[in-house]
Structure formats: structure tokens, C-alpha cells
Structure 1
Amino acid sequence: MTAKTTRLPIHPVVRKFAEAINTGDRASFRELLARDAVMTDDGNPHDPAAWADREIFNANGHFDVCREDPGGLGMIVTYRNDTWGTMSTRWDFTVRGGKISRFDTGQV
């Protein structure tokens, strides 16, 4: 039996974001965010660090790309965590100066 390989984003900053999620590396995740980063989940604004603690790091989140837009800043992801299970989600990123200044996610 062959193990499933997780597909990661092509954009280098977003790839590091996904790797931090998948390895549970909270410090690297926070380092990737701009100081004034903003995010939404299903259109609702949240504090990125508090949201990530709840939805990713305290719930064993996992990020697996299904499809990417050209440039790798928008994608459909199979996202899984211990709270909500597995779901198809859309993720869109804004990257400035090597940091994520905005990300938006929600179910599709």
C-alpha cells in the first residue's frame, strides 16, 4: 500500500504556512503573518492568532491542496481538524514583503 502524499501550495510563503499547519508549528505560523494580518472564516472576521489556536493548533488541523489558481494564492483545500472533521474549503491569500497580510477561508 502506498502512503498518501499531502499536496502543498506552490507559492513559497503559502507553502510554509501549510507546512506550519501540518506540522503543528505555531511559532513558524505566527512568524509568517504580518503584524497587522487579518483573516475571515466563512466571511466572518477573526483575530488570526486566536482563530489558528482554536481551529488549527488545538484541533490538529491538516491542509491538503486539491486545486490551485495560477500563482498559488487561491486554492481549494481538503481541510481536516478534530473539531469539524474533513471539509472542502477555499483559501485565498494576500502576501506582501514575504508575510501573509490577509487570508480568507470558508467551506465550499
Structure 2
Amino acid sequence: MTSNQLNPVVAQFVDAVNAGDSAGFFDLLTEDVSMSDDGSDRDVRDWVDSEIFGSNARMNVESVSDGGQALVADYTNDRWGSMRTAWRFTIADGKISRFETGQA
């Protein structure tokens, strides 16, 4: 996988996760961003604090689809270990307005 296959905003999302850059991460999101994990809507800030930045998360993208707005990644964090996950992003005005993730 090459990073140029990802939508540029999605690529920045992955880079922010892998760099532990919470400020940069939240800059990529719309003010009314929503998200779901395994089909259940969650509070974005609480989920991100717990599952990404509070647990040293990393994403290794395996495949990209849907014009660069969907991906499958090996996702690892200190809370759950490593798992294969699917991610889908909705982009509005150059920012992420929704993301959905779950086990792939």
C-alpha cells in the first residue's frame, strides 16, 4: 500500500494516529463529527482518548478502497493488542465528518 492511494485527509488521519498527534488529529475533524465502533455510535472524544491516544494506538494500512476513503488496517493499541480492522470515512469540506471502524 502506498500512502497516495488514500484520500489526503484520511492519510493525515492515519499519520496523526501513528504519530500520537492528538491536536493534529482533532484538527482533521468537523465540529459535529460522529463515529461508530462495531456498529455502535460512540462519543468521539471519549472513544479517541480511550482507544487511540490513551492507549498508544498504531495503524498499519493493508488495503485501500472506495476512492481512498475506506481501508483495512492492522490496528494495535495497549488496551486490546493487535486486530484487523476496517475503517470508512466521510469527508465534508476537506474534513472528516464521520468515521466508522470495527473488526474486519
TM range (shorter): over 0.9
Offset, 1:7: 5.8
The 5 A counterparts of 1:1-108 are 8=3, 10-108=6-104
Aligned length: 103
Matched letter for residue 27 of structure 1: A
1:11-52 CA-partner distances (Å, limit 9, x unpaired)? 100000111100000001111010000000000111111111
**Counterpart Cα distance in 2 of 1:85 and 1:97:** 34
More helix by share: 2
In our comparison, the structure showing a higher alpha carbon Rg is: 1
Percent of aligned pairs with the same amino acid? 45
Runs of 4 or more consecutive aligned structure 1 residues displaced over 3 Å after TM superposition? 6-9
**Counterpart Cα distance in 1 of 2:78 and 2:2:** 20
The structure-2 alpha-carbon separation of the partners of 1:61 and 1:7, relative to structure 1 and needing over 3 Å to count, comes to farther
Q: What stretches of structure 1 of length at least 5 have no aligned partner?
A: 1-5
TM-score (ref. length: structure 2): 0.94
Are the counterparts in 2 of residues 11 and 72 from structure 1 also a CA contact under 8 Å? Answer: yes
Superposition RMSD on alpha carbons, in Å?
A: 1.4
Q: What stretches of structure 2 of length at least 5 have no aligned partner?
A: none
